[in-house]
């Protein structure tokens, strides 16, 4: 690993929800004691890709690529992750969960007493990232991990993707609500995802419908397990 240079790409959504998502992420990285280039609140271009503006999307790729040559990009946004994987080239990208797992963390210092179910973000599962977040969660003391009946490749969507939430916000939230209502396993107190869009959408559903369920991004769980949150 020695010659690798890390670049952290929080992405525009973490930037937007800075205190809720970006700051915890930075705390984790600081705790891990690695050095990295901070790419600030740049956007990977996915909103343009999803809007059909391919020309502007390519421009964003070009301008981002200048910063990303020969680095290992770390992101906790499933959207950025997929876009980097499928549309960029010239560097390596790791989802936060992969990155931390690769550091070889076999146990975490703090207990997180939680009965959690892991929700597969569509953008990660289509890139076949399913086991890394689960493996991390399993290593956290106190945390018991459940599964939705439909999981991994068969998992169902939270409704927060594809820009649907921007144009039909209530519909997006309703998808999340329907998933919670229909699929949530028994005896679970929290849904954990590894994508800010899933996190935000489930959180909206839980608060709008006053559901008795906590919603976390994996950042939060890792932060608690490392004692930085």
Partner 1 sequence: MFDNVFQTYKLRLYEAMDNSFIRAALRRAVDSFRINRDKALKRYSDVEDKRLRLIEVKKHVLSNLESYVKQTMESIESNNSYAYYAKSINDALKIIDEVIGSGKMIVKSKSITSEELNLNYNLKLKGNIVYETDLGELIIQLLDSKPMHILSPAIHVPKEKVAELFSKISGENLPPDIPKLTMFARSFLRDKFFKADIGISGANAIVANTGSIVLIENEGNARYVSNTPPKYVVIAGLEKILPTLIDATILVEVVSRYASYYMPSFVSIISGPSKTGDIEKTQVLGVHGPREVHIILLDNGRSEVARDPLFSQALYCIRCGACLYECPIYQLVAGNFGYTYFGGVGAIWTAFIDRELHYASLIAFTCTLCGRCKVKCPMNIDTPEMILKLRESIHSIKLIPEPIRQIIENVKKYGSPYGLTNRFL
Q: Which residues bind partner 1 (CB under 8 A)?
A: 12-13, 15-16, 41-43, 45, 47-54, 56, 60, 122, 126, 153-154, 156-157, 159-168, 170-172, 174-175, 178-179, 182, 197, 200
Cβ distance to partner 1 smaller for residue 17 or 91: 17
84, two tokens: 């980097």
Contact 105/97 with Cβ under 8 angstroms? Answer: no
- What are the angstrom distances between the C-alpha of 153 and each of 9, 128, 157, 163, 175? 26, 8, 11, 22, 18
Cβ distance to partner 1 smaller for residue 141 or 169: 169
Q: Which of 45, 39, 225, 222 is nearest to 132 (CA)?
A: 222
To the nearest whole angstrom, how small is the minimum distance from the Cβ of residue 137 to partner 1? Answer: 22
In sequence order, what are the residues at sequence separation of 6 or more whose Cβ sits closer than 8 angstroms to the Cβ of residue 68? 7, 9, 39, 88, 90, 91
To the nearest whole angstrom, how small is the minimum distance from the Cβ of residue 52 to partner 1? Answer: 3
To the nearest whole angstrom, how small is the minimum distance from the Cβ of residue 56 to partner 1? Answer: 6
To the nearest whole angstrom, how small is the minimum distance from the Cβ of residue 145 to partner 1? Answer: 22
77, two tokens: 């946004």
* Separate counts of helices (H) and strands (E) for the chain: 12, 8
To the nearest whole angstrom, how small is the minimum distance from the Cβ of residue 226 to partner 1? Answer: 28
Cβ distance to partner 1 smaller for residue 176 or 224: 176
- Give the up-direction half-sphere exposure of residue 165: CA atoms within 13 A in the CB hemisphere: 21
29, two tokens: 């990285």
To the nearest whole angstrom, how small is the minimum distance from the Cβ of residue 126 to partner 1? Answer: 5
């Amino acid at each position: 690993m020695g010659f690798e240079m890390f670049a952290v790409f929080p992405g525009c959504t973490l930037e937007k929800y800075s205190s809720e998502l970006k700051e915890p992420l930075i705390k984790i990285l600081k705790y891990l004691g690695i050095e990295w280039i901070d790419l600030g609140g740049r956007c990977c271009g996915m909103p343009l890709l999803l809007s059909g503006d391919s020309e502007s999307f390519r421009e964003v790729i070009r301008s981002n690529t200048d910063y990303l040559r020969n680095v290992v990009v770390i992101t906790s946004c499933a959207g950025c992750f997929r876009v980097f994987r499928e549309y960029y080239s010239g560097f390596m990208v790791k989802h936060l969960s992969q990155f931390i797992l690769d550091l070889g963390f076999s146990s975490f210092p703090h207990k997180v007493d939680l009965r959690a179910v892991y929700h597969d973000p569509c953008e990660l599962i289509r890139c076949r990232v399913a086991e890394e977040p689960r493996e991390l969660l399993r290593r956290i003391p106190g945390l018991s991990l459940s599964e939705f009946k439909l999981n991994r490749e068969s998992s169902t969507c939270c409704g927060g993707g594809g820009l649907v939430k921007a144009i039909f916000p209530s519909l997006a939230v309703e998808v999340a609500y329907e998933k919670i209502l229909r699929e949530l396993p028994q005896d679970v107190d929290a849904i954990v995802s590894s994508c800010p869009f899933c996190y935000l959408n489930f959180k909206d559903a839980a608060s709008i419908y006053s559901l008795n369920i906590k919603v976390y991004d994996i950042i939060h769980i890792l932060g608690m397990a490392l004692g930085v949150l």
